Amino acid sequence: MRALFVVPFLIGCVDLPKYSEVTDLRVLAVRSEPAELLDGQSPAELRVEALVVDPTRGEEPVQLQWQLCPLTQESACAGFDDTLSAGARPLELLDGLTQAVNAAGACPLSDATRAGVGELQALLGELKDPRYLARYRGVTGGGDFEVDLAGGAPDRPFRAYDTRYLRQLAKELEACGRPAFDGLGMLPERVTDLHLLHLLRSPLDSALGVLPSVVLTARRGEQQVVAQKYVPLGWRDLRTPWKLIELFTPGVDFGVELCGEVATPGCLPVAPRAPNENPTFADVRWAAGETPRAGDDEGWVSLCEGCELELKRGEALRVLPVFTADSFEPYQGIVLDPKTSRVSSFGLVEDISVAWFMTAGELGDELTWPKTTRSLDTWYRAPADAAVERVTLWLVARDHRGGITWKTLNVRLW
């Protein structure tokens, strides 16, 4: 027999702190530069920075430990070891790629092409070993809030494969009368092993977007906080994974051909992609009181860079973050209907939201987003406590595609 314990919930007995109020060690944001990795961009180029704050200012320094998780995983990559121990996931495109190479048969391939294909076959053999993933799980860090990820260790750098031999292979096979493997020609000139690994593991996931992540562990004394930042991994030309799926998966039908920017009948135009960039603050403006104001209201005052706000205890002001026009980037999305396997595209423009944090006082909104709050501004009311002399506000902006930036505001109370 199981015993059922009922614990009464006593309303008002527990005063939970607000999420926006920072009272101890917190990781408020992690951003990467670049904000996403497209083919040709190595993870070794990734620079990661964290907004780590602790109002208690303990005597012990904050220790940071970073690691790169090469798979799309939640829970701060806690399941990574289980993934390795479970063995390799089948590389869905490997057999098809091997068939493309074997299709040469008696075709007179050039020596350079044979050598390049042999190099690729060797790399594919390594990628089949799940332990290959472990090379990316390097741990770096120390007391700094910034880190350059360089493949986990100096002796295990990220690798890039030159695909010109594959494109040449496609031409030589076609000249020999073999099936036209034009999809090989869609590969970029250079592709990192991490991109290639995900493409071979699941071309569909690779087409729709893969999310490796950077995991940060911050420690001070007995306190420990873990944060995870996804870094989108994608393709400059979205036709690349789709063409390879069609090439190596007989019978697949997406209902439409993907073409370049020029639309033709029965063809879905796909624009070349540029890497997403982090949004940029153009200005932070303030106005006295809680009353909402239009963005172009003359009552707003720009806060000079590095300047302190001054506010009387118990009184309020309104704060408006302003972003550069380039922060609202246009982009194209691709949608695959899982029921029909039909592909469609849509055009969007980024919209930015701002999460607000403070060391003391009261905020009108913890998150401002034009979709829900109509505007990005909100009000802040200073605490009336005479013991509080200074307050810090943090504004964390997200573009909902992996781009992040932040701004720190210092407020002196009188």
Both tokens of 297, joined, read 């209201």
Q: Which residue has the higher pLDDT, 98 or 198?
A: 198
Going from N- to C-terminal start, the domains of the chain cover 22-273, 276-414
Mean pLDDT of 45-69: 81
pLDDT of residue 188: 76
| Predicted local distance difference test score (pLDDT) of residue 97 | 61
What percentage of the chain exceeds 90 in pLDDT? 32
pTM of the model: 0.82
DSSP string, 108-119: ---HHHHHHHHH
Average pLDDT over residues 158-180: 73
pLDDT of residue 17: 66
Q: What is the pLDDT of residues 107-145, one digit of tens each?
A: 777 888 777 777 777 776 777 666 666 656 555 554 444
Looking at residue 102, what is its pLDDT?
Answer: 62
Which of 68-77, 147-156, 264-273 has the weakest average pLDDT? 147-156
Instruction: Work out the mean pLDDT of the chain and round it to a whole number.
Output: 78
The answer on pLDDT for 337 being more than 50 is yes
Q: Which residue has the higher pLDDT, 355 or 66?
A: 355
Strands (E), 9-80: 26-33, 37-38, 47-53, 63-69
Tokens of 5: 């314990």
Which range in 91-105, 154-168, 264-278 is most confidently predicted, on average pLDDT? 264-278
Tell me, what's the pLDDT at 351?
A: 94
Torsion 281-282-287-292 (CA) sign: negative
Question: Which residues, at least 6 apart from 3, have a Cβ–Cβ distance to it below 8 Å?
Answer: none
CATH 2.40.160.40 fits 276-414, yes or no: no
Rounded average pLDDT over 250-269 = 71
Q: What is the pLDDT of residue 240?
A: 78
Of the listed ranges 189-193, 222-226, 293-297, 350-354, the one predicted with least confidence: 189-193
pLDDT digits (tens, 9 = 90+) for 213-245: 888 888 888 889 999 888 888 888 877 777 777
Which of 278, 233, 244, 329 is CA-nearest to residue 38?
233
Q: 20: which 2 tokens?
A: 């926006």
Dihedral (Cα; 213, 18, 289, 391), 10-degree rounding? -80
Above 90 in pLDDT, residue 378?
A: yes
Torsion 175-179-180-184 (CA) sign: negative
The pLDDT assigned to 242 comes to 76
